[in-house]
Amino acid sequence: MKYTSSEAAKLLRKLNEEHDTLEMTESTAGTFIVAAGEDVESLRPEYDYERTQEELRAIEEKIVKIKHALNVFNASNKLPGYDITVDQALVIMPQLTRRRNRLDTMRRRLPKTRETMRSGNIIDYCLTNYDPKQAQKDFEKASEELAALQTALDLFNTTVSFEIYL
């Protein structure tokens, strides 16, 4: 069946939720406590070990197939408007985010700030060893690059489909 990356991500989320639910059921119904003299069978929660294990394995197999198909698709398709594959874009985006965040801090610094006053009326200053105005320009450039890349990736993820064999 054909899926877009966005649809595949939603399917993965759904499968992971199903897996978590089965594990929670296993955790709560896999054991139970009875007091001496109580009827064990009347208190036994409904739980089928073999069926639960089969269902967990089936979900895990689907997750592996979807993630593999998504990884192959991302590694073999170029992002329109860029000379990079989708998987490269997924690496570049966090790098741009880190750069943008670092430059945001740098652009907000004043060229000269008073730090401390030592004994004898000696004042220490913290001076930037760069031009905050250049940091501002670089911040804006990184922000624009990140926004453009995110937009291109969002469009790609919602419009281009690929085959997943479940």
CA distance 77 to 148: 18
Closest CA to 7 of 161, 148, 165: 161
pLDDT by residue for the chain (166 residues), tens only, comes to 999 999 999 999 999 999 999 999 999 999 999 999 999 999 999 999 999 999 999 999 999 999 999 999 999 999 999 999 999 999 999 999 999 999 999 999 999 998 877 776 788 899 999 999 999 999 999 999 999 999 999 999 999 999 999 9
Question: In terms of DSSP bridges, do strands 122-127 and 2-4 run parallel, antiparallel, or are they unpaired?
Answer: unpaired
| Whole-Å CA distances, 128 to 105, 106, 108, 118, 133 | 12, 9, 11, 21, 11
Enter the tokens of residue 152. 């291109």
Q: How would you class 88 by CB atoms within 10 Å of its CB: exposed for 0-12, middle for 13-18, buried for 19 or more? A: middle
Which pLDDT score is estimated for 65? 98
Enter the tokens of residue 60. 């895990």
Which pLDDT score is estimated for 135? 98
Which pLDDT score is estimated for 100? 98
Enter the tokens of residue 164. 């997943």
The single-letter code of the amino acid at 119 is: S
CA distance 131 to 142: 17
Which pLDDT score is estimated for 121? 77
Enter the tokens of residue 73. 């698709």
DSSP 85-123: BHHHHHHHHHHHHHHHHHHHHHHHS-SEEEEEEETTTEE
The total of other beta-carbon atoms located within 10 Å of residue 120's CB is 5
What's the CA angle centered on 163, arms 158 and 166, to 5 degrees? 115
Which pLDDT score is estimated for 117? 72
According to DSSP, residue 37 is labeled T
